[in-house]
Amino acid sequence: MAENVEQNYEGVWDTRIGFGAKPAVIVIDFLKGYTTEGAPLYAPGVVEAVAKTPELLDLARKKGVPVLHTQVRYATPNYEDGGVWIKKAPVLKCLVEGNELAEFCDEVKPQEGEVVITKQYASAFFGTSLMATLHVLGVDTLILTGCTTSGCIRASAVDALQHGFRTIVVRECVGDRHDGPHEANLFDIDAKYGDVVSKDETMTYFQAL
């Protein structure tokens, strides 16, 4: 009888890294393009994730946990800063200055003084100042929220691990276009790159800081 995927991974790809001592929350690309019905980027799972995230951010701020945000921006008219990725995914061309779809969702928009990282590619680290900022903050744990699970969340989780951070993905606070890619990528992140944990577990960790 063939073993199921959980049995296959058990004891091989199921180690827990856990929370560290100095966390930061990264809110990745919670932009209106993903939550506006009829928009090409619209993703129902992101709508749900945005709704679950404000409570987590409120507690992080109360406990003095840095909250950083990322946004995607491209330069018109040629989108040259998007390189090959914008050719592969031209749906991203709406993410330009002045387009409402490129603005932060109101429920999770940055508060005054919070760092906003602008990026052109999937990872929050690639070609940005994020690593230098986290170094200055003395962070050892990254709490990832945002979208999409199969794209920018996964890419940022892989890079966070490779940069030496304990990587935590909050299950309820990330979303995607479809449950299939969402669940598959959460499974893979949890197996290889970080810990996928519940919002309640994350908030309990914040409370104990």
CA distance 103 to 90: 18
> Under the phi-then-psi rule, with left for phi > 0, alpha for psi from -120 to 50, and beta for the rest, what region is 117?
beta
CA distance 161 to 87: 28
CA distance 53 to 37: 20
Which distant-in-sequence residues (6+ apart) come within 8 Å of 132 by Cβ? none
Helix (H, G, I), strand (E, B) or coil at 74: strand
Residues labelled as active-site residues? 152
